[in-house]
Amino acid sequence: APLAIIGIDSIGTILKFNKAAEDLSGYTFEETRHKNIKTLMPEYIATNHDGYLEAYRRTGKKTVIDSQREVPLRHRSGTEFPINIFVGEAKKVGAQSFFLGYLEDMREQKRQSRQQFIDTEVQQLSLTPIVTIDTLGQITAANHATSQETGYRNEELIGQNIKMLMQESIAVNHDRYLANYLQTRKRTIIGDRKSVV
């Protein structure tokens, strides 16, 4: 399975641990087998986990069961990183409950979100007009300085071709430059600095 899957019994003992879980946690199944799932949790999370399971056994109230949430996972190396986890309940022979946790690594998604936030903030705070376009030349983002410089509101720019900001003699060739780059990867205007009107 592409997702890390960990199975535990009703008191938190690890019963199942797939290859993806080994890759994610740094532990082998043999290292975790018969240990409490708290082995994979930071201390401040682990202290409450047995209480959640015990409360569910006594009351049937689902605090973490059948829910999806973001929690930190403690790697074998001691480092911590965010994962998204869904915990579901299953039944063993004899109707004894056990639980499956499906774990998804969130590090790359967090990194991309953080970088996107930083890029957006830098663009918006910059005094230099900055415009982002897609492969068709359509504007996907423009900072506040662009609106001040051009007189167009942001909503007037988004979705329009970048040619709207160019002099006609320049604009007529722009789409061709982009199409040529996408086909040949030959850089005519990309990676270059030009002075235009």
Q: What is the pTM of this model?
A: 0.59
pLDDT tens over the chain, length 197 residues: 679 999 999 889 999 999 999 999 999 999 999 999 999 999 888 888 888 888 888 888 887 788 888 999 999 999 999 999 999 988 765 667 789 999 999 998 888 887 787 777 777 788 888 888 888 888 888 888 899 999 999 899 998 999 999 888 888 888 788 877 777 777 777 766 777 66
- Rounded to whole angstroms, the Cα distance separating 173 from 162 reads 12
Our CA angle for 161, 166, 171, nearest 5°, is 70
Our CA angle for 36, 74, 44, nearest 5°, is 75
- Rounded to whole angstroms, the Cα distance separating 76 from 173 reads 56
**11: amino acid identity, one letter:** I
Helices (H), 12-77: 19-25, 29-32, 43-59
Handedness of CA 31, 37, 41, 43 (dihedral sign): negative
